[in-house]
Amino acid sequence: MKKSFRSRVNAGFTMIELLVVIAIIGILSALLLSNFVGVRERGADVGIKNNVRQLKTALRLYYNDNQRYPESNGSGGMDGCVDGAQACALGGEFADGSAVYMNALPVEFSYYAPIGGEEFLLRVTLANPSDGDIAASQSTCDLSVPYYSGTTTDLDYFVCSD
């Protein structure tokens, strides 16, 4: 029984087979890459929600010391920093002169509170529209209060006073 050398020499991949494998790898990488973009959005949203919850804790500490929450300045900003009258800078320190409540405020949030400071409402915009916490926060917080002057979108996440 004589073995043919022809079958051993021609053993390999054809150009068509290589193109099919490359196409399959390209399709799989495109599917995975689009999934990674969603992971980044969800990760950023988790960080934003944690920052807003920390701000809620800082506001509660402020309330314990001053028997009121800081007033809003009417455009989504928060008064009450440094001497109790200056507007708090986004990304800056939240302090009232006697205590530091938060070293660095979240960079993007809107703060709404009535005169007298018995309650507050915080709003941030998230990137992931499929986040279930968005709808839960909108139903938990009363958005019909007269001191809330913002428009609500499907991406707005709210934190309110208890």
Domain edges within the chain: 12-160
Q: Which pLDDT belongs to residue 124? A: 92
Instruction: Report residue 4's pLDDT band, with 50, 70 and 90 as the boundaries.
Output: low
Predicted TM-score (pTM) of this structure:
0.74
Q: What is the mean predicted confidence (pLDDT) over 110-137?
A: 89
Q: How big is the chain, counted in residues? A: 162
Asked whether 107 and 115 are in contact (CB, 8 A), the reply is: no
Cβ partners under 8 Å of residue 63, min gap 6:
69, 117
Tell which residue, 81, 72, 83, has the closest CA to residue 101. Answer: 81
More confident residue, 85 or 91: 91
Instruction: Report residue 90's pLDDT band, with 50, 70 and 90 as the boundaries.
Output: low
Tell which residue, 62, 52, 38, has the closest CA to residue 130. Answer: 38
Strand partners, 95: 100
Q: What Å distances lie between residue 159 and 93, 99, 110, CA to CA?
A: 20, 23, 10
**Helix (H, G, I), strand (E, B), or coil: what is residue 7?**
helix
Q: Please state, in angstroms and rounded to a whole number, the distance separating the CA atoms of residues 35 and 95.
A: 41
Q: Please state, in angstroms and rounded to a whole number, the distance separating the CA atoms of residues 98 and 95.
A: 7
